[in-house]
Structures are given as C-alpha cells and as structure tokens.
Structure 1
Amino acid sequence: MDLRNLKHLRSLALAGEPLSEMVFDKIRTEYA
C-alpha cells in the first residue's frame, strides 16, 4: 500500500468524513 494514499485517507478522516473514517479504520485493522 502507498503511504501517500494512507496519508490522504487520514487527512480525509481528520476532515470529518464518516466514510473515509470507516475506510481508514479498516486499513488500520489490516495494517496492525
């Protein structure tokens, strides 16, 4: 996975996007 893409998703999550927050949480679970 591209770290830039992960950083982009994190920025969206911080912006308060519910969908992006769910996607980021899913990625975090896979990354852990």
Structure 2
Amino acid sequence: MAADRPARALGTTLAEMLAEPEREALDADGE
C-alpha cells in the first residue's frame, strides 16, 4: 500500500501540471 502513495502524489502532480496551462488558457480567453 505504501507504493500507492508515491504513485498518487505523482498522479496529482501531473494532473496539476496539466491543469495549469488549461487555467491560463481559460484566463486568456476570459480576458
């Protein structure tokens, strides 16, 4: 189960990295 923690942390980090450009794109479109 301990092995799941790094995988989840990595998955969360990847999700955040992917979400940031989308937010910036949405912000640019909003302006």
| Structure with higher helix content | 2
TM-score for the superposition, normalised by structure 2: 0.49
TM-score for the superposition, normalised by structure 1: 0.48
Higher Cα Rg, which structure:
2
Structure number with higher relative contact order (C-alpha < 8 Å, ≥ 6 residues apart): 1
